[in-house]
């Protein structure tokens, strides 16, 4: 066991499988006491079971670590609060929360139902809010702590997962808001966009050229939870980890602007906008067009 997180208490949602499980195990191996939350559902969010969270607690204990299971649904306010309450009741403090829980309900936008939209937004975006909300109140009093949200490269857009993409974009804005609102209390917030082999990524229809294991993601999360990252003042950031690659995403900013004289009219905008402000080409659209061309040529498309 290492000691990167010695003395810390960390809660991880979606910690029963895939990336969350690797994060929980790595945090425990680095000395943290861990709250293992998992609702134990299928990839589309059905059939909950408490066995999944309990199994990971047993794995951590067998390896000499300390952990406690919470099998609640973090898409409810009560579920998010319980994750935090169990940390305080079991270990007396809370130094980090990592919101990994997620589900998929894939459908083209023009066919997507409310039953496909709402649970995906509720699990990812509201499920990050419920835990951040409860944890940030504790961390504000403690004057320390780290909040970590899970996003995806798909926050840039997705052909058949508009629900998932919208939720992942929302998580980035939530993380940035947490970073701003909690800065004066010494609390940091960051987001991770992973690419790792799990049951969820097994559903991706294209061949991923850059992919790693859940343990790679866990190493980055462990660092972000540690005192080393806090000392560097790392907050409000989005990091991708895909096997050997770690990348930081740009902060959104205005690219070009033009100022009008007097009030704008549609005619004046039609005259001025194309040649001055213009557009910022969409990388995901270029990639989609390349994939469509590759498919037409009969080769298997690649995606990042
Ligand atoms: N695997 C990848 O390559 C990849 C890529 C981009 C983003 N992500 C994100 O990383 C996170 C983890 O993905 P994964 O691949 O490990 O998926 P996974 O399906 O292996 O694990 C997700 C876990 O979340 C749990 N969960 C679902 N709904 C829950 C709820 N309401 N309350 C508590 N637990 C709940 C599930 O039971 C499951 O154990 C997700 O947020 C996912 O969107 C993964």
pLDDT digits (tens, 9 = 90+) for 94-103: 999 999 999 9
- pLDDT of res. 298: 86
pLDDT, tens digit, 9 for 90 and up, residues 6-19:
999 999 999 999 99
At 203 the pLDDT is: 73
Residue 121 token pair:
């937004």
DSSP state of 62: H
Decide: 194 in ligand 1 pocket, CB within 6 A: yes
Dihedral sign computed on CA atoms, order 40, 177, 230, 250: positive
Which secondary structure element, helix H or strand E, spans residue 194, and what is its range?
strand 187-195
Residue 17 beta carbon below 6 angstroms from any ligand 1 atom: yes
Conformation bin of residue 139: beta by default, left when phi > 0, alpha when psi is -120 to 50: alpha
- CB of 100 shorter than 6 A to ligand 1: yes
Rounded-to-integer distance, Cα 116 and Cα 245, Å = 32
**Could you give the percent of the chain with pLDDT greater than 70?**
97
- 253: CA distance to ligand 1 center in Å? 30
Overall pTM > 0.85: yes
CA nearest ligand 1 atom 11, residue: 100
Q: Residues with Cβ < 8 Å from 34, sequence gap 6 or more? A: 9, 10, 11, 12, 15, 24, 27, 28, 60, 65, 66, 67, 68
Ligand 1 touching residue 238 (CB < 6 A): no
Q: Please work out whether the CB of residue 67 comes within 6 Å of at least one atom of ligand 1.
A: no
Query: Does the pLDDT value for residue 52 go beyond 90?
Result: yes
Nearest CA to ligand 1 atom 42: 102
Q: How far apart are CA 259 and CA 193, in angstroms?
A: 36
The pLDDT, as a whole number, for residue 304 is 47
* pLDDT, mean of residues 275-298: 94
Beta strand 302-303 with 207-208: parallel, antiparallel or unpaired?
A: parallel
Q: Let me know: does 116 contact 136? Beta carbons within 8 Å.
A: no
Output the average pLDDT for the chain.
96
> Measured from the CB, is residue 103 less than 6 Å from ligand 1?
yes
Order of all β-strands in the sheet with 145-150: 66-70, 33-37, 9-13, 96-99, 145-150, 187-195, 238-242, 245-248
> Hey, which residues are catalytic here?
152, 164, 168
Pair 75, 37: CB distance under 8 Å: no
Q: Tokens 């940030």 — which residue?
A: 136
Name the residue with tokens 């649970």.
Answer: 119
pLDDT above 70 for 302: no
Mutate to test the pocket of ligand 1, among 20, 77, 209 (most ligand atoms within 8 A of CB): 20
Q: Using the mean position of ligand 1's atoms as its centre, give its distance from the Cα of residue 97 in Å.
A: 15
Q: How many Cβ atoms are within 10 Å of 258's Cβ, its own excluded?
A: 12
Q: Do the beta carbons of residue 124 and residue 167 sit within 8 Å? A: yes
Asked whether residue 22 carries a pLDDT value surpassing 60, the answer given is yes
């Amino acid at each position: 066991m290492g000691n990167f997180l010695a003395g810390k208490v960390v809660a991880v949602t979606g910690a029963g499988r895939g990336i969350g499980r690797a994060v929980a195990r790595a945090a425990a191996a680095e000395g943290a006491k861990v709250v293992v939350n998992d609702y134990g559902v299928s990839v589309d969010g059905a059939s909950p079971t408490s066995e999944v969270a309990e199994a990971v607690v047993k794995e951590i204990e067998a390896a000499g670590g300390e952990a406690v299971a919470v099998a609640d649904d973090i898409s409810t306010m009560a579920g998010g609060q319980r994750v935090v309450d169990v940390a305080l009741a079991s270990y007396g403090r809370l130094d980090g929360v990592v919101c990994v829980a997620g589900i998929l309900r894939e459908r083209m936008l023009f066919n997507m139902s409310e039953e496909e939209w709402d649970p995906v937004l509720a699990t990812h975006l509201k499920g990050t809010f419920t835990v951040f909300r409860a944890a940030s109140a504790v961390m504000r009093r403690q004057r320390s702590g780290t909040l970590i949200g899970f996003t995806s490269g798909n926050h840039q857009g997705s052909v058949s997962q508009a629900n998932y993409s919208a939720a992942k974009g929302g998580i980035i804005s939530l993380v940035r808001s947490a970073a701003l609102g909690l800065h004066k209390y010494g609390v940091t917030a960051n987001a991770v966009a992973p690419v790792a082999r799990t049951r969820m990524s097994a559903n991706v229809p294209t061949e991923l050229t850059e992919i790693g294991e859940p343990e790679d993601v866990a190493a980055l999360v462990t660092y972000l939870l540690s005192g080393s990252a806090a000392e560097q003042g790392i907050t409000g950031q989005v990091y991708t980890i895909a096997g050997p690659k770690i990348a930081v995403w740009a902060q959104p900013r205005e690219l070009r602007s033009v100022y009008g004289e007097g009030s704008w009219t549609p005619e004046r905008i039609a005259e001025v906008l194309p040649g001055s402000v213009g557009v910022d080409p969409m990388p995901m659209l270029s990639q989609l067009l390349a994939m469509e061309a590759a498919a037409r040529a009969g080769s298997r498309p690649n995606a990042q």
